[in-house]
Amino acid sequence: MKKPTKKPKKQLKRKSKAKNSSSFVWLAVLFFVMLSLSLLPNESANEVEISYNTYKRLLSDGQIKEASIENDNSFHGELSAPATLINKNGAEFTDRTLFVVYLPADYAEQIKVWDEKNIEYNFEGEKIDWTSWLLGFAPWLLLIGFWIFMIRRMQGSNNGMNNVFSFGKSKAKMFSSKQKKVKFGDVAGCIEAKEELEEVIAYLKSPKKFEKLGGKIPRGVLLVGPPGTGKTLLARAVAGESNVPFFSISGADFVEMFVGVGASRVRDLFEQANKNSPAIIFIDELDAVGRQRGAGLGGGHDEREQTLNQLLVELDGFENSSSVIVMAATNRPDVLDSALLRPGRFDRQVVVDVPDLQGRHDILKIHTKKIKINKKSVKLHDIAKGTPGMVGADLANLVNEAALLASRKRKTTVDNNDFEEAKDKVLMGVQRKSMVLSDAEKKVTAYHEAGHAVVAIFSPEADPVHKVTIIPRGRALGVTMQLPLDEKHGYSKTYILSRLAVMMGGRSAEEIIFNEITTGASNDIERATSIARKMVCEWGMSDAMGPMSFGKKNEEIFLGREIQSHRDYSEQTAQQIDHEVVTIIKDAQKTSHKILTDHIDLLHLMAEQLLEHETIDEADIKLLVAGKKLSKKNNK
């Protein structure tokens, strides 16, 4: 029994070392061992199992020298001289002395015979049959193995290091020097953020120098800004610039289905960082763990809260002991627990904002480095001008789209047309050329869009019309696109009223021309209504209601959405609000009506030209306003 077991055991060890104990391999090996054990002959390999008749013959012939009888009535005998034995299946074994036979239940009678024949015999307890004992465990082992396997699958880690027993280990990735480094040069714009972070890097490079001066360096830096503005990129740039160990983890990685895992991961993360100090810890999407406590749906003390508490503890704990800096990024600073933001924790907030014109230009420069552009036709500055409100991720996407379009057309370089097309695609949705509109539908759409455009042209402070098209895009039959001249950070009432008038312009044009209205304006009306309601309830722009805010938005923090707004006003006020909203919309409609009837010639001209050319741009509109028709080759 001992011999055969040794071999598989060795095998098992070797395998586990090589493969870093993938539990599944373990299981397979174990199973294999047991299988081979059960198939291999056991210790009594040399015993021939003989029939009872043969035994009786051997007994009466006096050939049996000694025997041991076990509990299971097995009679293990030894012959006084080697003989040829025939086992119970009829096979012949020559030169054997050992045999086994099973005695009848009551063999007391036989003892006398044994004494007679001078057999030395003794009784032994049954030997434990290890093989079957182990085999009995097989189903359980299989079950446990399966469970382990499932858990690993759920953890979704292919990492050998990450076996079942490292639940509580942080999943932080350490940036190695082998990875392609991001430098500050790869991040455009965000000048303030970069300055702030450069200070942090200077500190990490020589912490002693700073400490001598007695300066207190922020321990926690929180990058705050809308999605896609480059927060993650900035953090990676810090890692690339600072040459210290950089532990990066996403807030969501802390959250696991087992209670307490998140907290122990936090502990482990900080332990690791402390060991490697000076070091940087970066927690991306901090809001996943850092949300206001007491807001979960599942009672007050859920797993996420424990994790957050642990994070708070760790943030306090390492304050003076080591040079570890914690960075985090979020686009929802408003939902963060206030304890996270108090001095000593993430007290320094770095705003990474939507890029301005210069910023967009710089970002475009960085991203167009990787593609071949036609330097003569592509003016990055103009593209930057035409993409207000776009963030770094959008611009990166725009450049990529343009490159794809160019390659689809088998061009050698990316030119301005590709960028224009890509911009339209990103801003207005994908063209749906396959959608066939009837002539009547086209005509209505043309007047609808021309209506928007004409109202926009003659409204004070309205954004200039950039493009009008009746090619279906996305879910719309036509699009009128306005682009602001500059970035806007606040809006005047005049601007908003003009905007409402422009939105109503489409419907008004339909009314004036066809004396009929269509469903095409539903989206316009929806947007206009929501703006009008905000004017009354949030911006205090209604004369009748005064500068008051109505209704408190109740953030359902757990879901991260405004799913309800709490009413803090009376039924009567509610009616007044509704009345004001209706008045604002109706006024906007009247305004647009007036503008369109005053400029009905332009409306007709523009609709007609739209039907002919399908798309007209800013330059074309200037011609139309001057009363000129567009030439044929202007077909865009």
Interface positions with Zn ion (CB under 5 A):
506, 524
Under a CB-based contact definition with an 8 Å cutoff, are residues 218 and 347 in contact? yes
Nearer to ligand ADP, 37 or 187 (CB): 187
Under a CB-based contact definition with an 8 Å cutoff, are residues 419 and 374 in contact? no
**What is the spatial distance between Cα 227 and Cα 356, in angstroms, rounded to a whole number?**
15
Annotated catalytic, 562? no
**Residue whose C-beta lies closest to Mg ion:** 232
Structure tokens at 357: 């014109």
**What is the spatial distance between Cα 312 and Cα 294, in angstroms, rounded to a whole number?**
15
Structure tokens at 159: 């990492």
Cβ of residue 221: shortest distance to Mg ion, in angstroms?
Answer: 15
618-622's contacts with Cβ under 8 Å and 24+ in sequence apart are 618/464, 618/465, 618/466, 618/467, 621/453, 621/457, 621/465, 621/468
**What is the spatial distance between Cα 450 and Cα 468, in angstroms, rounded to a whole number?**
8
**What is the spatial distance between Cα 13 and Cα 15, in angstroms, rounded to a whole number?**
5
The entry of ligand ADP, Mg ion, Zn ion, none near residue 524 (CB within 5 to 8 angstroms by kind) is: Zn ion
The entry of Zn ion, Mg ion, ligand ADP, none near residue 190 (CB within 5 to 8 angstroms by kind) is: ligand ADP
Strands of the 279-284 sheet, one edge to the other: 173-174, 246-250, 279-284, 324-330, 220-224, 348-351
State the residues that interact with Mg ion by CB under 5 A. Answer: 232
Cβ of residue 510: shortest distance to Zn ion, in angstroms?
Answer: 9
Nearer to ligand ADP, 427 or 462 (CB): 427
- What does residue 214 show for φ and ψ, rounded to 5 degrees? 80, 5
The entry of Zn ion, Mg ion, ligand ADP, none near residue 393 (CB within 5 to 8 angstroms by kind) is: ligand ADP
State the residues that interact with ligand ADP by CB under 6 A. Answer: 187-190, 225, 227-233, 329, 363, 366, 392-393, 396
Cβ of residue 542: shortest distance to Zn ion, in angstroms?
Answer: 25
Nearer to Mg ion, 396 or 531 (CB): 396
Nearer to ligand ADP, 119 or 182 (CB): 182
The entry of ligand ADP, Zn ion, Mg ion, none near residue 506 (CB within 5 to 8 angstroms by kind) is: Zn ion
**What is the spatial distance between Cα 352 and Cα 523, in angstroms, rounded to a whole number?**
32
Nearer to ligand ADP, 34 or 380 (CB): 380
Cβ of residue 331: shortest distance to Mg ion, in angstroms?
Answer: 8
Cβ of residue 294: shortest distance to Zn ion, in angstroms?
Answer: 45
The entry of ligand ADP, Zn ion, Mg ion, none near residue 625 (CB within 5 to 8 angstroms by kind) is: none
Q: Give one DSSP letter per residue of 161-216, joined into a string.
A: T--GGGTTS--PEEPPTTSPPP-GGGS-S-HHHHHHHHHHHHHHH-HHHHHHHT--
- What does residue 365 show for φ and ψ, rounded to 5 degrees? -60, -45
The entry of Zn ion, ligand ADP, Mg ion, none near residue 187 (CB within 5 to 8 angstroms by kind) is: ligand ADP
The entry of Mg ion, Zn ion, ligand ADP, none near residue 505 (CB within 5 to 8 angstroms by kind) is: none
Provide the pairing of β-strand 74-86 with 615-617.
unpaired
**What is the spatial distance between Cα 414 and Cα 400, in angstroms, rounded to a whole number?**
10
Nearer to Mg ion, 236 or 423 (CB): 236
Which residue among the candidates 449, 510, 511, 580 is catalytic per the annotation?
Answer: 449
Within 10 angstroms of residue 325's Cβ, the number of other Cβ atoms is 26
**What is the spatial distance between Cα 233 and Cα 229, in angstroms, rounded to a whole number?**
9
Nearer to Mg ion, 229 or 592 (CB): 229
**Residue whose C-beta lies closest to ligand ADP:** 392
Q: At what angle do helices 23-39 and 130-155 cross, to 10 degrees?
A: 160
The entry of ligand ADP, Zn ion, Mg ion, none near residue 224 (CB within 5 to 8 angstroms by kind) is: none
Question: How many alpha carbons fall within 13 Å on the CB side of residue 342?
Answer: 7
**What is the spatial distance between Cα 90 and Cα 50, in angstroms, rounded to a whole number?**
9
Cβ of residue 445: shortest distance to Mg ion, in angstroms?
Answer: 39
Cβ of residue 387: shortest distance to Mg ion, in angstroms?
Answer: 20
Nearer to Zn ion, 228 or 506 (CB): 506
Cβ of residue 333: shortest distance to ligand ADP, in angstroms?
Answer: 13
Residue 267: CB partners within 8 Å, gap ≥ 6? 168, 310, 314
Q: What phi-psi label fits residue 294: left (phi over 0), alpha (psi between -120 and 50 degrees) or beta?
A: left
Q: What's at 441, amino acid-wise?
A: E
**What is the spatial distance between Cα 465 and Cα 1, in angstroms, rounded to a whole number?**
90
Cβ of residue 190: shortest distance to ligand ADP, in angstroms?
Answer: 5
The entry of Mg ion, Zn ion, ligand ADP, none near residue 278 (CB within 5 to 8 angstroms by kind) is: none
Nearer to Zn ion, 289 or 453 (CB): 453
Positions marked catalytic: 449
